[in-house]
Chains A and B, each alone.
Chain A
Amino acid sequence: MTAEAPITVCLGSGGVGKTTLAAAWAIARAQRGERVVVLAIDPARRLATTLGLDDTDAHADGGNESERENDQSEPGEDPQPTPALGTAALGNDPQLVPGPWPGELWAAMLDPRNTLETLLRRHADPDQFERLVANPLFATVTNSLSGTNEYMAAEKLHELHGDPRFDHVVVDTPPSRHAIDFLDSPERLMRFVDNRLYRTVLAPKGLLRPLTNAAQLVFGRAARLVGAELVNDVIRLFRDLGTLDDGFRQRAGETAELLAGPACRYALITSPRAEPMRESRWIAERLAERSRPLDVVIVNRLTPFGRAETVDPLEDADRARGADPAVAAALRANWEELTALAERENRLVSDIMRDLPAGIEPILLSERTEPLGALADLIELAAAISEPAEA
């Protein structure tokens, strides 16, 4: 086991079973004795439901959640596994999920605000931290407006990657486009920090230094668009952010490297429908552009009929006809509908395989007729997708 945990990032469009498969992937590793944490960064709450950890207070808001967390643990203290999993909502601190595996399975759901505050506390002096959280924009920036969440997801990933409690991190990302935002977010933050204008605004010699004339001119223009108050808040916010210690920027750099580096593996999950396939192709292209390899492809939700069928279905119908001709006709009609669908699905699957990098053998999974019930279903699924030991 290495000190830093390798990462599997699960990508895919909505409705392909990404969350379920991320959980199953983590269980497969736990069954090999690893200590795995699965992190959900999708704003929807599916992971907790999938693992059976949730649902007593589905509409509880984030505020209560962080209060509860504050009650439980001192800052910096290792979070304790919550004993009453049935009642606890999944949050920023990983929770231990009990199950019949030799390793450990932990689960966490990103809380962007909590993550940002932890990050800022580490890199700001106390006064600066107070000023930041008091800035009216801080709430806007952190309160789930797009952009911040993605960076906080990357930051949280970095944190879990370095956490000695875990051997492997599995990430359940939001549907495709936003997942790519997440991959780019550390670089975007660095680009932003390096922005010429931003550095002009910053006061290298202290916060009281007035804006340069050039900066005043530019912000005067911006003020015409968004109003002077917002611009002033922006300037104050960035002055405070900009004087965070170098660790902040360095951290973003490390996170960017982590996402591009060999520790990170990418699993693409798709289903045999035109739209998820288009999205998958798009994701694969974006990853290729970023020189990030695609390591695993899972095609989920295939119609399980008409593939490698050895029985002559017509004969079968003859047998069934013994009962009732109307029933036999219905059996035949249903069979034809399902096998025709399966054939169209096969064509989509071979199309996408042609477009994906050579050497990737897709894992094919059938559609389930029942929703996942007990953990036993996930364990069964884990067995189906389990890769050969040590990848």
Chain B
Amino acid sequence: MLLVELEGLSTVGAPFGHHDLGYQPTVIAGESGAGAQAAGAQLRARRITPDEALADYLATSGLSSITDRMARSGAVDVVATAAPGIRDLVTLGKIRQLEEAQDADLIVVDAPAAGHAITFLTSAEGLARTTPSGPIRQQADQVLDMLGDASRCQVVLVTVPEESPVTELIETAYALEDRVGVALGPVVMNGVWPTVPGLADTGHGPLADAARYRLARVAAQRREIDRLRTELPLPLFSLPYLFSTEIDSAGIGVLADSLAGVEGMDR
């Protein structure tokens, strides 16, 4: 298993006690060593930034001799400013290369949030339109092949049972379908408050207020979950709210157990 994070703060390693992931993969859970990796008993994580992906790409394509000069002259800047999708594309290109090399049984990518996810995933299509030839075009085509092939790649949309995030998820799902054509996997509803058996709206005082708060919260979440089910015909399943301010490895375990065996999550 390989976990990939892309931008922003390094967070995917945090529950495992790894706060600074680098471009090179780190084993964050399971046994280390090649044997463990082969047995699939290992979770590795890495962080892919556009700059490192581009340098990597140039080096592996035998173009490294031009990298330094181009960087010094600012040509990369000029081209990347005119066609900013290049930064997203080289990142996707690196992921595609890992996928092709069968670097892991499953590669899980923590992609950018809603609006930016669309920008990120449409970069290949945009560049394929404006770049008739050359290695970038080739990259774009290869990435498009991967994104369009449901046996190689799917998008799992994750949200929380609140009004705006649910609306955003629905819009993102339709936009991904229309503009990227990528297969959509099941939707994950995260942070669903468990009910407390026997909890009732009764009496006065802090405990009763807390009960009302809990019941109202659960009911509001229920409404959003129902709305999502009505408006988006995708399988949906829920993860429990953990009553914690930070997810640690025990929390990740609880969530992983909830995910285990869900149809469509095993690809």
Residues of A within 8 A of B (CB): 14-15, 19, 42-46, 49-50, 58-59, 136-137, 139-141, 143-148, 174-178, 192, 195-198, 201, 218-219, 221-231, 233-234, 237-238, 272-275, 278-279, 282, 304-305, 309, 311, 313, 316-317, 319-320, 323-324, 326-327, 329-335, 337-341, 344-345, 347-348, 369-372
User: Could you say which residues of chain B place their CB within 8 Å of the CB of A309?
Assistant: 206
Residues of B within 8 A of A139 (CB): 130
- Specify which chain B residues have a CB less than 8 angstroms from the CB of A324 in the assembled complex: 198
Minimum distance in angstroms from A103 CB to a CB of chain B: 26
Residues of B within 8 A of A (CB): 7-9, 11, 14, 58, 63, 66, 69-70, 73-79, 81-88, 113-116, 118-120, 122-123, 126-127, 129-137, 160, 162-165, 167-168, 170-171, 174, 196-200, 202-214, 216-217, 220, 243-247
Q: Residue B213 contacts which of A15, A221, A305, A329 (CB distance < 8 angstroms)?
A: A305
State the Cβ distance, A188 to closest chain B Cβ, in Å: 8
Give CA–CA (A219, B116) in the complex, Å: 30
Chain A residues with Cβ below 8 Å from B133 are: 227-229
Q: Are A224 and B63 in contact (CB under 8 A)?
A: yes
What are 25 contact pairs spanning A and B, CB under 8 A? A43-B114, A45-B171, A50-B164, A59-B174, A136-B129, A141-B82, A146-B84, A147-B81, A176-B8, A195-B78, A218-B73, A221-B70, A222-B70, A230-B79, A230-B131, A234-B79, A238-B78, A329-B198, A333-B199, A334-B196, A334-B210, A334-B211, A335-B206, A335-B211, A345-B245
A274 touches B246 (CB 8 A): yes
Given contacts A49-B167, A218-B70, A327-B199, contact A229 B132 (CB under 8 A): yes
Residues of B within 8 A of A311 (CB): 205-206
Is the Cβ of A140 less than 8 Å from the Cβ of B119? Answer: no
Which of B82, B87, B137, B246 counts the most chain A CB atoms within 10 A? Answer: B82
A114 to B115, CA, bound (A): 18
Cross-chain contact of A335 among B135, B137, B210 (Cβ < 8 A): B210
Q: How many Å lie between the Cα of A49 and that of B211 in the bound state?
A: 29
Closest chain B CB from A1 CB (angstroms): 33
> Which of A140, A305, A323, A345 is within 8 Å of B85, CB to CB?
A140
Q: Are B81 and A344 in contact (CB under 8 A)?
A: no
Contact of A278 among B9, B58, B171, B209 (CB under 8 A): B9
Nearest 10 pairs of A and B residues by beta carbon: A227-B134, A43-B115, A274-B246, A369-B216, A330-B198, A147-B84, A316-B205, A227-B133, A330-B199, A371-B163
Tell me the minimal C-beta distance from A318 to chain B in angstroms. 10
Q: Is the CB of B66 within 8 A of A327?
A: no
B216: nearest chain-A partner, CB-CB: A369
Give chain B residues whose Cβ lies under 8 Å from the Cβ of A333. 196, 199
Evaluate contact between A146 and B88: CB separation under 8 angstroms.
Answer: yes
Contacts of B207 in A (CB 8 A): 313, 316-317, 320, 331-332, 334-335
> Which A residue's beta carbon lies closest to that of B76?
A222
Query: Which residue of chain B has the shortest Cβ distance to A43 in the bound complex?
Result: B115
Contact B116 A197 (CB under 8 A): no
Contact with A226, one of B79, B212, B245 (Cβ below 8 angstroms): B79
Which residue of chain B has the shortest Cβ distance to A282 in the bound complex? Answer: B9
Query: Told that A49-B163, A226-B137 touch, could you supply 8 new A-B pairs with CB distance under 8 A?
Result: A140-B85, A219-B75, A224-B66, A274-B245, A279-B8, A305-B206, A327-B198, A333-B196
Q: Find chain A residues with CB under 8 A from B205 CB.
A: 311, 313, 316, 319-320
A46-B168, A323-B202, A326-B198 are contacts. A137–B84 as well, Cβ < 8 Å? no
Instruction: Known contacts A15-B165, A229-B133, A369-B216; decide if A197 and B78 are in contact (CB<8 Å).
Output: yes
Distance in angstroms from B84 CB to nearest chain A CB is: 4
State A274–B14 Cα separation when bound (angstroms): 10
Candidates A15, A50, A59, A345; contact of B160 at CB < 8 Å: A15
Evaluate whether A174 and B116 lie within 8 angstroms (CB atoms) in the complex, with A226-B135, A348-B245, A369-B213 already known.
yes
Alpha-carbon distance A335/B136, docked complex (angstroms) = 58
Cα separation A141 to B212 with both chains bound (whole Å): 51
